Structure 1
Amino acid sequence: MLYGRATEEGQLRSLLLRAAEGTSGALVVHGEAGIGKTALLEHLAADAGAARVLRTTGIESETELPFAALHQLLRPALDRLGVLPEPQADALRAAFGLAAPTGQDRFLTGLGVLTLLSEYAGEDPVLCLVDDAQWVDRESLDALTFAARRLDSEGVVMVFAVREPIPLGLPELRLDALDRAPAAVLLTEHAGTHLPPHVRERVAAEARGNPLALIELPRALSAEQRAGLLGPLPATPGDPTPSSRVTAAFGARIGLLPDETRSALLVAAADDTGDLGVVLAAAQVSPAALEPAETAGLIRLDGTVLTFRHPLVRAAACRSATLARRIGAHLALADVLVGEEHADRRAWHRAAAATGPDEEVARELDRAAERASGRQGMASASAAHERAAQLSPDPAERRRRLVAAAQAAADAGQFQRVEALLRRGGPSGAGGGGAPDSGDGERGSFAGELGSGDGVQGAELARVRAALELNAGSAVRAVEVLVGVEDAAPAILIEAFHAAQSAGDPDLVERVRARVPARPPGRHGTLAALAAVYGGEPVAPERFEATARDPGALFSERFLAAHAVHALADHVTARELAELLLAHCRSRGLLGWQATCLHLLAETHLAIGALQPAARAAEEGLRIAGYAGLDHRACYLRATLATCAAVEGDGPRCRELAEAALAHAHGHRLGTAAAHAHRALALVHLGAGDAEPALVHLDAADRHPDGPPVLLAFALPDLVEAAARAGTARPATAERVQRWADQCGGPAALALAARCRALTCGDEQAEEAFTAAVAHGERAGGGLELARTRLLYGEWLRRRRRRSDARRLLREALEAFEKAGARPWAERARAELRGTGEVIDSTSATGAPLGRLTPQEREVVRLAAAGHSNREIATQLFLSPRTVGHHLYRAFPKLGVTSRDQLAEALTG
C-alpha cells in the first residue's frame, strides 16, 4: 500500500486508462532517493491489468555499456524483430550485439524502439517502466526518449523514474516528501507502537517525510536505541540527508552479516549483469552464502537473477568495503566474464581495478570504444577513450585518447563534455593554458588547454575545438582555431571555409583564402575553386559537381562543393547532390552531417519554390539537431523554417522561429544564420506589400556590403525589391547582384540580376530588363522567383495602364503562387488582377484541401497519396505504423474520401 500518494497514483492510472483506449503517454517521475519512485512504479505495474509490462533499471556500473538498459527492457519483445522494417530491425540487432554493426544512424535505433513497442502492444496496452534513469546508459536513454516523444496512438505508456530532473522533453511529476499524517502512519506500520515518543519524533524528524527512511531507520535501531537509552540513529559522515541516513542504516545492517555474505554482496554490487551464476563464481561462494542477505531483505533472488532491494543497498555494500576488497571484486568479475560477448564488461572491470597507469587495460578500453562506435554508442566510446587516457603511461597516448574522447563526445552531441575534455591538462597535464578572451564580451575560447599539438593529432584537435566553437561558442573563433593550424591540410581549410561562411564575415573569408596554396592538393581542385568563388571570380557550378559526387573524397569537401553549387544558383543540381549526400549519411550513421545535408536540401527546395518539401526537410533536420544537441545547425534550420512560414503567410510562426534563430545567431556570431532569419522576417512584410519594415530587416542582414556578393546572394534581390517599393532605389545593390550573376553564369542568377536591374533603372530600360528576367526565369525552370518577377512586371505594367499586358503576367503569377501555397503573394497578385478590371474568385484560397488537416496529417496524407505504405511513411516521419494509420483514419473524413486510392484526386481537386 502507498501512503499519501493518491494524486500521483491517479495521474499514473489515467495514463494506463487512456492507453487502453489507444492513446499513448509518457511521464518523468523525479525525486530524491527513497522518496518512493520505485514503489510508485511497482504499484503501477501491479495495477496494470491486461497491459504488458516491460521494465529496466539503470545500474551505475553499467552506464558506459551502450544499449544495456534498452536490451533489458525490450528482451521480452525481441521475438517480434522480424516484423519490423529491415533497416530498423538491423539497427536494433546491431545495438544489442545480435548482428554485426550496420553503421545505421541513431534515429533508426530510436525508430525501431517505437515500432517494436507498437507491434508488441497488439490489442493490449504496453507499460514501459524505466527506473533509476539517471544511471541508464546514454544510448539507451536517447533511444527511449526518442520513442517517448513520438508516442501517439500505439497504446504505449512510458514512465521514467529519476532522482534529479533530466531535460528529456517529456511531462514531469515531482514526488515530494510525505505530509505529516501519512508519514506517521507509515512509521507506525513499520516500527510498531512501542517506540518511545521522543525516539519516534527523532526518527520522523531525521526521515523528513522520506518513505524509505521512515521504513529503514527504525530497523537499524538496536534494542537500546529503540528503548531510548542511546542515541537513536546511526551516525552519517558529511551529508546528513535522509538518503545518507538510509545508506548508513543499510551499511550497519550489512556489517552484521557473515564475512562471506558481505564479500558476495560486494561482488554483486560491482557486477552489472544481475546473473547469480556470475556473482557466485566471482565471489567463490555457494548460494547459501547469500541467504542471510536475502533473509534480511537486502536482496531478492529470482531464479538466476539477483537484484538489490534498493540502489542505496548497492551503494552501502560498496561503501562499507575497503579499497582492496573493491579492487578484488572487480578483478574477480573480470576473471569470470570470459568470451567475446563480455569483452566490454571485462575491460571496464579491469579499468575499475587499476590503481595506476596500465597500457594493456587502456588498449582494451580502446577496443571497447571501437565496438561502441560501430553500434553508434558514441557517448560510451567517449567514456572508454577518456578512461583509457587516464590509464595511459605515455603522455602522447594520453593526449591522443583525450582527443578521441572529445571527438566521440562531439559526435554524440555532448558538447559540454567536449568542452570539459578540451580543458584537461593545463600546466600539469598535456598542454598549456587557455587562450585569452577575445574581448567581445563572450566567454573565452575553448582552445588552448591541450596545447596546439603537432601533425595529424594537432589538426584533429583543432577540428574538435572548431566544432565545439561552431556549436557552442563562436563561429569567428572556430575560424581562428582552424586557420591557426600550421601547414593546414586541405581538410582543415575546407572546414575553415565552412566556418567562415557561417560567420558571414568577409575578413574571415579572406584570411582563409590567404591560406590556400597556389597549387592546392586534391584531384578536384576544390580549395582553389572555393578561393575563386569567395574572391568574386567567375566559377561554373559544374566545377564542384565532380567533387560532390566522388565517394572517395572527404565528406566535408563533398558537402562544401554541393553547397557551392547551390550558392552559384544551380539549385536543381544542388538538390540532387544534397539528396545523394543525405543518403550517404543515413547509411553510415553520420548524424551531424545528416542534419547539415537536410538543411542544404531544404534550402535548395526553397530556392526552387517547393515550400512543402523544404519545410519537411527542415523539420526533419531540426528534429535530428535537437536529438543530437546540434545547436548551430538548429539555428540555421529554424531560420529556414521561418522563411517557409513567411512565404506561406504564417507570420506568427515565422516570427517565433526567426527570433529564436536570431537569439542564438547573435550570441554565437553566426552572421549568415542571422541574415537568413532577418530575411525571413522581411519576407513577412514584403509579402504583405509593406516595404519599410522589410527594408529594416534586410539592411540588418546586409552587414558587409563590401564583401563578396556570394555571401548574401540569397537576400540581395529582396533588398533591391524592398528598397524600390519604399522609394529608395539601390542601384549599387543591384550591381552586386549582377556581379554574383556574372560569377554564376546560369539562368537563375541572371534572372534575379535582370529583375534587380529593372527595379533600379529608368522606364526606358526597365521593360527590357523585365523581359530578360522572365526569359531567364523560364530557362531556369520557373518556380516562385519567376512568379515574383511576373508579379513585379505585372504591377509595373498596370501602373502604366497597360492592363491587358499585365493580366497575362499576373494570372501566371497567381497560378504559381497558389500552386506553391504562397498565400501573401497570391493575394497580392489577386489584388493586382482586380486592379486591371478582372473579376477574381476570392474563395480560391491556396491549399484548400490540405488546409483542413493538421500539419502531421498533411505529411501523412501526402506520402500516402504518393503510394507509400504505412510502414514507409512511419519510417520517413519517425512515427509508428499504428500512428500513421490513426492519422489517415482522422484525415479521410476531412477530405471526403473513403480509401487511399482517392487521396491523390482529393489533393489536386
Structure 2
Amino acid sequence: MLYGRETEQDQIRRMLDRAGDGASCALVIHGEAGMGKTALLEYAAEVAGPGRVLRTVGIESEMELAFGGLHQLLWPVTGRLEQLPEPQAAALKAAFGLSGEAVRDRFSLGTAVLTVLSQAAGGGPLLCVVDDSQWLDRASLDALAFAARRLHGEGVVMLFGVRDGVPGGQITGLPRLRLHGLGPAAVDALLTDRVAALSPYARDQIVEQAQGNPLALLELPAALTAEQRAGHLNPITLPAGLSSPSSRIQEAFQEQIRRLPDPTRAMLLVAAADDSGDLDLVLRASARFGATLEDLEPAEHAALVLLTEHTVAFRHPLVRSATYQNAALARRLAAHRALADALDGEPGSGKHVDRRAWHLAAATTGADEAVAAEMVGVAQRAGGRQGTASASAAYERAAQLTADSAGRARLLAAAAFTSAEAGQFHRTAALTDRINALALDPVMLADFARVRAIVELDRGSPGGAARILLECADRISRSADLAPVLTEAVQTAQSSGDGRLLAEVAARLPDSPEYARARAMTGPLDAVRDTMGRAPAGQGEAGFAERVLAGTYEQLFADHRAALDTAAACVRECRERDMVGWLHTALHLLAEARLSLGLYGEARAAAAEGLAVAEQFGRRHRETYLRATLATLAALQGDGDRCASLSGAALEYADAHGIELAAAHAHRALGLLALGLGHAGDALTHLEAARARLGHPALAAFLLPDLVEAAVRAGQRERAAEPVELLARWAQAADRPAALALSHRCRALTGPEGETEQHFTAALHLHDAETTQPFERARTELLYGEWLRRERRRTDARSRLRTALETFEALDAQPWATRARTELQASGEAPDPDSRPNALLGRLSPQEREVVRLAATGATNREIATRLFLSPRTVGHHLYRAFPKLGITTRTELAPLLGQDG
C-alpha cells in the first residue's frame, strides 16, 4: 500500500490508460533514497498486469557490465530479434554477446530497442520499468533513454527510477517527477498502519527526524529500543544505543562513512550530534579533534552533506542516523562535550544556555549534580514557553543525573506531570512506575497523585482516578497543596456520575471561599446560593485546573456566556503554552458552551478539533465526551445516522470504563434526535436512561427539559413529575434567567391548566432577559404555539410558531423546523420551504455544510482546511460539489445566499 502518493498514482494510471489507446510516454521518477520510487514502480506494474511488463534494475556491483541492464529488460522478448531489420538485429545480438561482434553503431542499437518494444506492445499496452537507474550500466541506460525520447504511438510506457545524489543515472530530455516527503496525513496513516507500539512523544521525534521519508519512517522506529519506543528520547540528539538498522540504505550510508578519512568522520559526528546545522559551531567544536573545513570536502563530494556559507545539512535523515549510530560511545560523548564547550565560548552564549545544557547532559555518564541543576533550569524555562514536552525530558534527565533518591523522585514526578500536560500519556505511565511515592514532599505528592489520576482516567475509570486523588488528600493537610488535588477530584468524580463519590469529595472540601465552586458542584442544590455567595470574585491567578472547574460550574448552572469566555481563555492558554494535555478538555468545554449558545457551526469545529487532538494522544476518556457532543449537534440537525454512530461509539467506551456522565450525554443526543423527529416514546426511553446514569442533580439538569417534554408528549405525565421538581430546585440554585425560563416552560407543560399561559409568558420574558439560548427560546415558542393552536387561538399561535420556525431554520435545526412548519400549516399558514437559506443547506452533506458556512465568511480553502482538519484539496472538492446544489457558480455568492455579511 502506498501512502500520500495519490497524485503520482493517478498520473501513472493515466499514462497506462493512454497507452491502451496507442499513445506512448516516458517518465523519470526521482528522489532521495527511501522516498518510495520502487514502491511506485511496483504499483505501475500491478496496474499494467501480468505479461505486460518488462523490467530491469540497476545493481551497483554490476555497473561495469556493459548492456547487462538492457539484456535483463529485453530477455523475455529476445525471440523477436529475428523480426528486426538486419542492422538492428545485429546491434542487439552484439550487445547481448550472441554474435561475438562488438557494438559499433549505438544509433542502430537504440533504434533496435525502440522497435522491439513496439513489437512487444502489439498485443496491448506495454510497461517498461527501469529501477535504480543510477546503478545501471551506462551503455544500457543510453540505449533505453534513446528509445524513450523517441516513443510516440507504440502503446509503450517507460518509467525510470533514479536516486538523487548518487553519481550516475543522469537522463536528459524526458519528463521528470520528483517524489517529495509525505505530508502529515500520509505520515500519520503510514505510522498507524505499519508501526506499532510507539508513544506519541517517540512518534513525534520519528516524524521530525524522518522529514516525510517513508523508508526512514519505517526504519527509524525499528531501530529503537523498547524504552525509546516508550518515549525516552533526548530531544536534541538522535537516541544513543540504537541497534543497527538492517536496511540496505542504512548499511550503504554506513559503508560510505567508513570509507572517509578520520577527520572527516569526526566532523560528521559533531554535525550529527548537533541539531542546529550551524556550520560555524560545527567547525569550532570539530577543532577540538584537529579537523578543519577542508576535512568536510570528502563528505561533500560523496553527497553525504550539503554545505552553504553558513550551514551544514545531511542530504538524507538516515545519513545523520548512520553517522551517529556507527560511532563508538566515547566518540559520541566527546562530540557532545565539544559542542557544549563551543557553545559556552560563543558570543551571546546566554541564548544558547539550554542547548549547551543538553549537550553537557548527553556528554555525562553517572551522577553530576551541577549538570542536573542545569537541566532543572532547562525544564523550568521550557515549561514557561510552549515547551512542556521538552520540560518533561529535561526533568527526567536531571533525575538520571542526581544521586539523591528523594530529589530523583521529585524530578521524576515533575517529569511525569509535565509529560501529561504535553499529552505524552504512555510516557507518563512509564514515569509513574519509577517513582517512590513515599519519598515525596506534600507538593510533589500532590503532583504525583494528579499524574496517577490522569493515567487511571485514560486506562481505567474516572471513579478510580477520583479514589487516587482522595487518598492523596487524606495524606496531605496544607490547603495550598490540597487545592489542585481536590479540584481534579471534583471533576473525575463528576465524570463517574457517582453521587456517593461526589459526597465523599464534598466531605473533604475545606470550608473556605476558594472551594466554593467545588462545594456547589458536589453538595446539595439547596446550599448552592449560600455557598457561591462566598466565592472569590477573581479567578485570574487560579491554576489551570481551577479555571476549567470554574468553566464547568458556569456551564452546569446556566451562565453560558461566562462559560464561553472561560473556555475560550483556557483554549488560548493551551495554545500559547503548548499544553496539549489539556487542549482537548478546553476545546470540549468550549464546544459545550457554544452549543448552549446556539453557535452550532463553531461548536462543531471546536469539538472536531478536540476529538482530533484526543485521538492523536490516545485520550479515550475525552474522546468519549467529544463524540457525545458531536452526536448532539448531529441530532439537532436531524442527521440520524451520524448521531447514532457517534453516540454508539461513545456509549461503548463509556460503559466499559464507567464514564457515566459521557454516557448520559450520548443517551441525551439520541433522545433529542427522537424528540425532534416526533418519536416521544423512544425519546423518553433514552432520556430516562441518561437520567439513571447520574447521581447528582446538578449533573442531570441539562437533560431534564427534554425528559419532561418527552414524557408529556408520550402521554406519561406522571413520569415528568420528579424531573419538574428537580429542575425547579436546580433553577432556583442557579438563579439565572436561562435556567428559570426552562423551569417555567416545564411547569407550563405539567402544571394546572389555568396556569399554563402564565408559565409560558414568564418563560419567554426570562428568555428575553438573557438572550443566550436561541434554541431553547424557540422550543418555548413552539410549545406555546402548539398549546395556543389546541386552544383554537390560531392567530396567536401563528405568531409564536412563525418565530420558532425562523429560529430553527437559522440554527439549521431541521427536525424542529419541520415540527414548527407542520404546526404552522395546521394553524392555517403555509410557509414557503424554498425561501429559507437553511433549506438550501439541507441539500448538502454535513461536511459540505460546514465548508460552505466557513467559505461564506470569506475564509480561504487553507483556512477552512485547518479548521475542519481537511486538506485544501478536499475543501475545494466539497465546494465544487456544493455549488450546483445551491444554484451558484462562485464563492462570492455564498454570503448573500446564507444571509451573512461576508
Offset at 1:899? 8.3
Q: Which residue of 2 aligns with 1:481?
A: 468
CA contact (8 A) 1:526 1:544 kept: no
In the alignment, the residues of structure 2 paired with residue 687 and residue 250 of structure 1 have an alpha-carbon distance, to the nearest angstrom, of 65
Counterpart among 807, 811, 815 of residue 816 in structure 1: 807
- AA aligned to 2:742 is L
Matched, 1:847 2:811: no
> Superposed, which structure 2 residues align to 1:21-60 within 5 Å?
37-38=34-35, 40=37
Q: Which residue of 2 aligns with 1:539?
A: 529
Counterpart among 727, 731, 740 of residue 750 in structure 1: 740
The number of equivalent residue pairs is 702
In the alignment, the residues of structure 1 paired with residue 220 and residue 250 of structure 2 have an alpha-carbon distance, to the nearest angstrom, of 24
- AA aligned to 2:825 is R
- What secondary structure, in the 3-state scheme, does the structure 2 residue paired with 1:162 have? helix
- AA aligned to 2:815 is P
In the alignment, the residues of structure 2 paired with residue 503 and residue 35 of structure 1 have an alpha-carbon distance, to the nearest angstrom, of 53
Q: Which residue of 2 aligns with 1:335?
A: 341
In the alignment, the residues of structure 2 paired with residue 291 and residue 812 of structure 1 have an alpha-carbon distance, to the nearest angstrom, of 79
Offset at 1:903? 5.0
- AA aligned to 1:490 is A
> Superposed, which structure 2 residues align to 1:495-894 within 5 Å?
495-518=488-511, 520=512, 522=514, 525-530=516-521, 532=523, 534-539=524-529, 547=537, 550-626=539-615, 629-703=618-692, 707-728=695-716, 729-730=718-719, 731-761=721-751, 763-781=753-771, 783-799=774-790, 803-844=794-835, 847-851=838-842, 862=853
CA contact (8 A) 2:219 2:245 kept: no
Describe the superposition over 1:144-197 as per-residue Cα deviations: whole angstroms up to 9, x where unpaired. Answer: 989x9xxxxxxxx97654343999xxxxxx9xxxxxxxxxxxxxxxxxxxxxxx
CA contact (8 A) 1:299 1:306 kept: no
- AA aligned to 2:607 is A
In the alignment, the residues of structure 1 paired with residue 666 and residue 4 of structure 2 have an alpha-carbon distance, to the nearest angstrom, of 46
In the alignment, the residues of structure 2 paired with residue 478 and residue 809 of structure 1 have an alpha-carbon distance, to the nearest angstrom, of 48
In the alignment, the residues of structure 2 paired with residue 638 and residue 775 of structure 1 have an alpha-carbon distance, to the nearest angstrom, of 34
Matched, 1:283 2:289: yes
Offset at 1:566? 2.3
Offset at 1:418? 0.6
CA contact (8 A) 1:720 1:756 kept: yes
Describe the superposition over 1:261-307 as per-residue Cα deviations: whole angstroms up to 9, x where unpaired. Answer: 66566555545556462563242235676777788x59557467666
In the alignment, the residues of structure 1 paired with residue 871 and residue 318 of structure 2 have an alpha-carbon distance, to the nearest angstrom, of 38
CA contact (8 A) 2:421 2:582 kept: no
Offset at 1:137? 13
Q: Which residue of 1 aligns with 2:410?
A: 400
In the alignment, the residues of structure 2 paired with residue 855 and residue 588 of structure 1 have an alpha-carbon distance, to the nearest angstrom, of 33
Offset at 1:823? 0.8
Counterpart among 433, 440, 447 of residue 423 in structure 1: 433
CA contact (8 A) 2:207 2:217 kept: no
- What secondary structure, in the 3-state scheme, does the structure 2 residue paired with 1:553 have? coil
Q: Which residue of 1 aligns with 2:97?
A: none
Offset at 1:814? 2.0
In the alignment, the residues of structure 2 paired with residue 249 and residue 804 of structure 1 have an alpha-carbon distance, to the nearest angstrom, of 86
Taking a change above 3 Å as real, the CA distance of residues 740 and 145 of structure 1, as seen in their structure-2 partners, is: farther
Offset at 1:452? 7.7
Q: Which residue of 1 aligns with 2:71?
A: none
In the alignment, the residues of structure 2 paired with residue 690 and residue 481 of structure 1 have an alpha-carbon distance, to the nearest angstrom, of 43
Taking a change above 3 Å as real, the CA distance of residues 288 and 126 of structure 1, as seen in their structure-2 partners, is: closer
Q: Which runs of 5+ in 1 are unaligned?
A: 19-33, 45-123, 149-156, 168-173, 175-237, 426-430, 432-449
CA contact (8 A) 1:545 1:565 kept: no
Offset at 1:557? 2.4
CA contact (8 A) 1:282 1:333 kept: no
In the alignment, the residues of structure 1 paired with residue 630 and residue 861 of structure 2 have an alpha-carbon distance, to the nearest angstrom, of 26
Q: Which residue of 2 aligns with 1:87?
A: none
Offset at 1:714? 0.5
CA contact (8 A) 2:183 2:212 kept: no
In the alignment, the residues of structure 1 paired with residue 602 and residue 384 of structure 2 have an alpha-carbon distance, to the nearest angstrom, of 32
RMSD (Å) for aligned C-alpha atoms: 4.8
CA contact (8 A) 1:823 1:846 kept: no
CA contact (8 A) 1:386 1:402 kept: yes
Q: Which residue of 1 aligns with 2:21?
A: none
- AA aligned to 1:698 is L
In the alignment, the residues of structure 1 paired with residue 849 and residue 541 of structure 2 have an alpha-carbon distance, to the nearest angstrom, of 39
In the alignment, the residues of structure 1 paired with residue 4 and residue 495 of structure 2 have an alpha-carbon distance, to the nearest angstrom, of 50
In the alignment, the residues of structure 2 paired with residue 774 and residue 126 of structure 1 have an alpha-carbon distance, to the nearest angstrom, of 65
- AA aligned to 2:682 is P
Taking a change above 3 Å as real, the CA distance of residues 280 and 379 of structure 1, as seen in their structure-2 partners, is: same
Offset at 1:493? 1.7
- AA aligned to 2:587 is L
Q: Which residue of 1 aligns with 2:125?
A: none
| Percent of residue pairs bearing the same amino acid type | 48
Taking a change above 3 Å as real, the CA distance of residues 566 and 546 of structure 1, as seen in their structure-2 partners, is: farther
> Superposed, which structure 2 residues align to 1:191-202 within 5 Å?
none
Deviates most, 381-390 or 610-619: 610-619
Deviates most, 537-546 or 607-616: 537-546
CA contact (8 A) 1:412 1:628 kept: no
Taking a change above 3 Å as real, the CA distance of residues 541 and 162 of structure 1, as seen in their structure-2 partners, is: farther
What TM-score results when the alignment is normalised by the length of structure 2?
A: 0.66
In the alignment, the residues of structure 2 paired with residue 414 and residue 721 of structure 1 have an alpha-carbon distance, to the nearest angstrom, of 44
Offset at 1:680? 0.5
CA contact (8 A) 1:266 1:317 kept: yes
In the alignment, the residues of structure 2 paired with residue 665 and residue 871 of structure 1 have an alpha-carbon distance, to the nearest angstrom, of 35
- AA aligned to 1:491 is P
Matched, 1:129 2:181: yes
> Superposed, which structure 2 residues align to 1:251-262 within 5 Å?
none
Taking a change above 3 Å as real, the CA distance of residues 12 and 380 of structure 1, as seen in their structure-2 partners, is: farther
Counterpart among 341, 357, 360 of residue 350 in structure 1: 360
CA contact (8 A) 2:513 2:534 kept: no
In the alignment, the residues of structure 1 paired with residue 11 and residue 395 of structure 2 have an alpha-carbon distance, to the nearest angstrom, of 42
Taking a change above 3 Å as real, the CA distance of residues 42 and 867 of structure 1, as seen in their structure-2 partners, is: closer
- AA aligned to 1:612 is G
CA contact (8 A) 2:35 2:214 kept: no
In the alignment, the residues of structure 2 paired with residue 831 and residue 886 of structure 1 have an alpha-carbon distance, to the nearest angstrom, of 35
Offset at 1:460? 1.5
In the alignment, the residues of structure 1 paired with residue 793 and residue 605 of structure 2 have an alpha-carbon distance, to the nearest angstrom, of 41
- What secondary structure, in the 3-state scheme, does the structure 2 residue paired with 1:484 have? helix
- AA aligned to 2:657 is H
CA contact (8 A) 1:366 1:384 kept: yes
- What secondary structure, in the 3-state scheme, does the structure 1 residue paired with 2:527 have? coil
In the alignment, the residues of structure 2 paired with residue 257 and residue 142 of structure 1 have an alpha-carbon distance, to the nearest angstrom, of 32
Q: Which residue of 2 aligns with 1:201?
A: none
In the alignment, the residues of structure 2 paired with residue 807 and residue 386 of structure 1 have an alpha-carbon distance, to the nearest angstrom, of 68
Q: Which residue of 1 aligns with 2:216?
A: 162
- What secondary structure, in the 3-state scheme, does the structure 2 residue paired with 1:735 have? helix
Taking a change above 3 Å as real, the CA distance of residues 904 and 270 of structure 1, as seen in their structure-2 partners, is: closer
CA contact (8 A) 2:551 2:567 kept: yes
In the alignment, the residues of structure 1 paired with residue 375 and residue 390 of structure 2 have an alpha-carbon distance, to the nearest angstrom, of 10
- What secondary structure, in the 3-state scheme, does the structure 2 residue paired with 1:715 have? helix
Offset at 1:703? 2.2
- AA aligned to 1:380 is S
CA contact (8 A) 2:368 2:402 kept: yes
Offset at 1:16? 9.0
In the alignment, the residues of structure 1 paired with residue 6 and residue 776 of structure 2 have an alpha-carbon distance, to the nearest angstrom, of 53
Counterpart among 377, 387, 390 of residue 380 in structure 1: 390
